[in-house]
Structure 1
Amino acid sequence: MTAWVVAARRSPVGTAGHAFAEVEAARLAAPVLRAVADEARTVTGLAPDEVVLGNCMGPGGDVARVAALAAGLDVPALTVDRQCASGLAAVVSAVAQVRAGSPLVLAGGVESASTAPWRSWPPAPGREPVRYERAPFAPAEVGDPDMGEANDRLAARAGVSRERQDAYAAESHRRAHASREAGRFDAEVVPVAGVARDERPRAGMSAARLARLRPAFRTAEEGGTVTAGNSCGVNDGAAVVAVVGERPGVPALRVLGSATVACDPNDPGRGLVPATRRVLERTGRSLDEVDVVELNEAFAGQVLACCDELGLDPARVCPEGGALGLGHPWGASGALLVVRLHAQLVRSGHGGLGLAAIAAGGGQGVALLVEAT
């Protein structure tokens, strides 16, 4: 049994502290779940069996179940955390469920960086609680670098220059802004809390302008090249797809295969490389056959290093703009890649093969290969 993506929608992507500053994760996901459930029922006649959502920084308490109930869907729900790959991991989980017999599963992810709770290590004798900004990705003795520093070092080892990074980031901004202004995102976006447009894309983000920014994670003297400008933002957003187990009577994405891998936690940005290679090997395809490549652009240097290792022309990545220009709502970003593939291959009528791949903290990667049918 195979699986098909029959509907795919997302919220606008907001900048943390701005458009969705007071919209908690479940309330951000609920309108998108409702819209995808309604569209899926229209084209298949089916109601969802379950909801699976990725989330990294929410309040706990099974965000997916809360979001499902807020959307008027009284079905079982599961929240998964594979860090930045959580949204794509949720889609992979939904594919497995429909292959096991579930008629329809809604899957995706949500992140509200704006409302993420503060967390603290508990007090010790003579010590107050100690706030931390993220949970560990790996044991300290194995190596648990922050993503910015790790990907700065990855870019350096791969020989990716600061100039290439700034040029790539500027192009991602240009593509995302042009796509938004041309209305290419309109059909996939579900308005939430009165917001109907992505907040991050800006005109005039040139490589020359980005070149003025200082390195953010290692100093220039240390060889640092990753800046706030050639890194993704901190964002809020949700993305959801409907996965069915029987061939639909409408154009859809057929899931050809997926791969989830582990890699060195000290080099987490590389995770999408072995994941991409594995899914291509499993499906007997090559990158040359893929029509649309959607890689999560966490850092320009990281994406360029991965492209170089894969022998992939970076100009082929995220044709309508990626996370550098659009935003990276952590738990939702992997699912957002699938929404973008559905828009470019199915909704546009273009057809062809699509690849979604994303790396995650702790040294993991997830990839999904689909075909428009």
Structure 2
Amino acid sequence: MKRAVIVHAKRTPIGKMGGILRDIQPHELAVPLLQHLANGLEEKIDDIILGNVVGPGGNVARLAALEAGLPLSVTGLTIDRQCSAGLEAIRMACYYIQGGAGCCYIAGGVESTSTSPFPARARFSPEKIGDPDMGVAAEYVAEKYAISKEMQDEYALLSYKRSWEAYEKGYFTQEIIPIGDYHQDEELFRKRKLEVLLKRAKPIFKRDGTVTAANSCGIHDGASAVLVMEESMALNNGFRPILRFLDSEISGVHPHYPGAAPIPAIQALLKRNRLTIADIDLIEINEAFSSKIVACMKELSIPCDKINVRGGALTLGHPYGASGSILITRLFYEVQRRENVKYVLAAIGSGGGIGLAVLFEVAI
């Protein structure tokens, strides 16, 4: 069986909805990434797969490929699995390579909430089952797994400190392709007194709830993509494999609990590969809500020093279709800063109760 490896990864700065990236269409956000990742390989790219959730419709990936000046043979595929779309795009590219459909893909996701034509979100679930907004669903997860506001606030503060530390050490600079004059995440333009905000913040989704604006992510714009190649092709073209795809798992849970959906996906993935959490060196789970991360840590017995070690969406923001690819981009650079890292895992929960987990072996 052919082996898929990730040899390069980049993302744009992440901007607030209505912020620094507000006038940039989704395909335009993706263009600098495609041009950078395809440089020197333009005629060898089999396809581009991008996740997009609230965009204008149509094939954003094809439009971006044409705008980027890539060969007409690079067709482009746009997918929507809600918040896991960017991670699903990478997963698909890896399976295409394993199955022999191609040898070189650019995969990731893009989101411009600022330019979205939709006044409201899409439906996640039929009314007969229940279709809660994500904030309400985060409350349901907190209730089901006995996650207090204090536990959520403690994690949100930890994530905030980790994000700022990573930024100040220049780690995010490695990840980012500038967009115009912008080369850093908008949320990092200035520090907030998060300890104070967490104490003051009141529940916003339920009167007696625990989920607040301070322990939830914001709505943002951004894009991220990786270069996935068949391993022998990567080596023959002078690329250094960093992450080698091993396996993945998708799971479905009740739509009331999307934040808990990564739990069964990760459990099944580890069991099939005869691994435990102790075998996994680094884990990235999208920080849509603190309740989600705390529930996953609690149910899977994930040590704090393994998960989201450079912070995440609680601080930087959550550009829906791009967030799953941002997780992989974060892992791509983090494993190169460490020694003796063997296995890493990325997971995300999506509206409708969908969990996706992807397992990689460190190839360096």
Instruction: Answer whether TM exceeds 0.5 for this pair.
Output: yes
CA distance in 1, matches of 2:336, 2:305: 21
1:60 is matched with 57
Q: Are 1:112 and 2:99 matched, yes or no? A: no
2:62 is matched by which residue type in structure 1? R
RMSD of equivalent CA atoms = 1.6
Confirm or deny: 8 A CA contact 2:194 2:214 kept in the other structure: no
2:96 is matched by which residue type in structure 1? Q
With normalisation by structure 1, the TM-score equals 0.91
1:3 is matched by which residue type in structure 2? A
Structure 2: give runs of 5+ residues left out of the alignment.
none
Post-superposition CA distance 1:281-300 (Å, at most 9, x none):
22222111111110101000
SS in 1 for 2:261: helix
Q: Are 1:212 and 2:229 matched, yes or no? A: no
> Pairwise mapping of residues 172-321 of structure 1 onto structure 2 (< 5 A)?
172-201=159-188, 202-220=190-208, 224-247=209-232, 248-249=234-235, 250-321=240-311
Percent pairwise identity: 41
Confirm or deny: 8 A CA contact 1:257 1:282 kept in the other structure: no
Alpha-carbon spacing, 1:349–1:115, altered in 2? closer, same or farther (3 Å): farther
Range 194-203 or range 302-311, more displaced: 194-203
Post-superposition CA distance 1:18-58 (Å, at most 9, x none):
1101011110111111111227x4xxx97211000000000
Alpha-carbon spacing, 1:63–1:98, altered in 2? closer, same or farther (3 Å): same
Deviation at 1:313, TM superposition (A): 2.4
CA distance in 1, matches of 2:216, 2:85: 20
Confirm or deny: 8 A CA contact 1:2 1:245 kept in the other structure: yes
Structure 1: give runs of 5+ residues left out of the alignment.
120-132
Confirm or deny: 8 A CA contact 1:357 1:368 kept in the other structure: yes
CA distance in 2, matches of 1:100, 1:330: 28
Q: Are 1:137 and 2:137 matched, yes or no? A: no
Post-superposition CA distance 1:233-279 (Å, at most 9, x none):
10111010111123433142101111111111121111111111122
Range 50-59 or range 257-266, more displaced: 257-266
Q: Are 1:156 and 2:146 matched, yes or no? A: no
SS in 1 for 2:167: helix
Q: Are 1:70 and 2:78 matched, yes or no? A: no
1:130 is matched with none
CA distance in 2, matches of 1:98, 1:153: 39
Alpha-carbon spacing, 1:195–1:293, altered in 2? closer, same or farther (3 Å): same
Range 100-109 or range 349-358, more displaced: 349-358
CA distance in 1, matches of 2:179, 2:194: 30
CA distance in 2, matches of 1:113, 1:350: 39
Confirm or deny: 8 A CA contact 1:180 1:198 kept in the other structure: no
Deviation at 1:207, TM superposition (A): 3.0
2:64 is matched by which residue type in structure 1? A
Alpha-carbon spacing, 1:347–1:243, altered in 2? closer, same or farther (3 Å): farther
CA distance in 1, matches of 2:316, 2:272: 31
1:129 is matched with none
Q: Are 1:90 and 2:78 matched, yes or no? A: no
Question: What is the number of residues matched between the two proteins?
Answer: 353
Confirm or deny: 8 A CA contact 1:260 1:365 kept in the other structure: yes
1:260 is matched by which residue type in structure 2? I
With normalisation by structure 2, the TM-score equals 0.93
Alpha-carbon spacing, 1:103–1:326, altered in 2? closer, same or farther (3 Å): same
SS in 1 for 2:154: helix
SS in 2 for 1:4: strand
